[in-house]
Amino acid sequence: MSQVFTLTHYKGGQGASVAAAVLAHTLRNHARVLLVSDTHDALGALGIASPLDDFTPDISLDSRLQPLDFLRVGDTDTSEPIASQYTRALLAAEVPTLAVVDLPPALLPALDDFHRHTQKVRDVTRVVVCRGDYLSLRSTSAAVTGLPGGHGAAVLTFDEPDRALTARDVEVVLRVEGRAMVAPWSPAFARVIDAGMLPYRLDMMPEALRYLDALAPLIRSAREWLHALTV
């Protein structure tokens, strides 16, 4: 049985892979985690540098944490459909598994299709990652607004002190007033990411703690889901 969190972005460089890395790393305090991506970015953000071409079980950075499995989907050089690679990985992982999916929108329908038809996945939480600038908002709002019933995704945005637009502006444009998760975006945090030190700073750096606070609704949902499985 799995609970899935998909993080996606409609313009490059929104911090989606870093968000997936932070979430995956934190969820490992609670359960086995499968990190699904079309690149190595989220894995790279966790300081795991070596490219992995396929599902590789039991990558552990820290023995206190549950295993992290990693699946790269959507490679042009593999003929196996995304959904089947993903199914295989979920089946191979021990239950219960929390899956964190870091994929561009074009690759999500294949997964959504699988989610709809399987008993294996109980809950899917969709998160759209969008920074507060005109170009990001423009492409994100064009993609997510106007859909019947709203886009139904949680929004992760950032508190970026030097920018013209605020997190509140992002909420207004994406019609999620008061409901976005707002994480910090700062030069100090960028340095930690770019040095590959993220997992080693997550429980001590003020920005990292604020980042985890922002993701609290997702972490809480995972914990509640795991709790419900055991009672």
Ligand X SMILES: Nc1ncnc2c1ncn2[C@@H]1O[C@H](COP(=O)(O)OP(=O)(O)OP(=O)(O)O)[C@@H](O)[C@H]1O
Q: Which listed residue (4, 18, 121, 180) binds ligand X by CB under 6 A?
A: 18
Query: Looking at 83-91, 117-125, 188-196, 219-227, which segment touches ligand X (CB under 6 A)?
Result: 188-196
CB of 118 to ligand X, least distance (A): 26
Q: Concatenate the DSSP letters of all residues of 174-204 into one string.
A: TT-TTT-EEEE--HHHHHHHHTT-HHHHTTT
- Of 16 and 23, nearer to Mg ion (C-beta) is 16
127: its two tokens: 């998160």
Residue of 4, 16, 98, 130 interacting with ligand X (CB under 6 A): 16
Q: Which range of residues in 55-63, 76-84, 106-114, 189-197 is near ligand X by CB under 6 A?
A: 189-197
Query: Strand, coil or helix: what is 222?
Result: helix
Q: Does 85 bind ligand X (CB under 6 A)?
A: no
Dist CA 40 CA 71 (whole Å): 9
Residue 121 or residue 171: which is nearer to ligand X going by CB?
171
Characterize the bridge pairing of strands 68-72 and 56-59: antiparallel
Nearer to ligand X, 138 or 227 (CB): 138
DSSP 156: E
Separation CA 39–CA 222 (nearest Å)? 24
- Asked if residue 24 lies in contact with residue 42, where contact means CB atoms within 8 angstroms, the answer is yes
CB 92 within 8 A of CB 67: no
Check binding of 157 to Mg ion (CB under 5 A): no
Applying CB under 6 A, among 3, 6, 8, 14 the residue interacting with ligand X is: 14
- Site for Mg ion contains 2 (CB under 5 A): no
15 near ligand X (CB under 6 A)? yes
Contacting residues toward Mg ion, per CB under 5 A:
16-17, 41
